Amino acid sequence: MTNLGTKLSAAGLFAAMLWISPALADDTPGAMPGDDAMTCAQIGAELAPYAQQMTPAATALGQTGQELIARGERRVAEATPALVALTAAATAAAADPTGLSTKPLIAAHEAMQHREWNRAITEDKPLVDQMNAQTNAVVEQAAPLQANPRIQRLMQLAQDKNCH
């Protein structure tokens, strides 16, 4: 090759290195060439296998949480008539200038709160224990994924691109 050809080849290689090097020299852990050009769909597709690993445990945890919420809502619905009655009695007792009639109502309200609290603790204990175990399982399963630089890079890209 002539001297000019060598110089042109070297210049071409140098230009190619300058063009490629930002993608290859990215110091971001887990970065790969072309990351910045990824679409949300591409990011999602690359994250999908990791999400599929977590789905069964996360779904079970969510179902347990929903069951606890439903139990609480049922208890509130069951206690509402008694609470409404106490509220009506308290409203009527407010007309008592001595205030003596409110003391038994306050005691009844406190007793009701204690009963409902103790009932909730007793009824929900098995589900709370199950939920705690499921939470620990999800955390243990997620730890290696959180330590994976590629997953962290993809999550950052998704956030930067406002992917939902």
The string of pLDDT tens digits covering residues 47-64 is 999 999 999 999 999 999
Asked whether residue 163 carries a pLDDT value surpassing 90, the answer given is yes
Domain spans in the chain, listed from the N-terminal domain onward: 1-37, 38-160
Strands (E), the chain: none
For residue 50, the model assigns a pLDDT of 92
Token digits of residue 29: 């852990």
Between CA 120 and CA 122 the distance in angstroms is 5
pTM exceeds 0.75: no
Between CA 154 and CA 47 the distance in angstroms is 7
pLDDT grade for 25, boundaries at 50, 70 and 90: very low
For the chain, give the number of residues: 164
157 contact partners, CB below 8 Å, separation of at least 6: 35, 36, 38, 43, 163
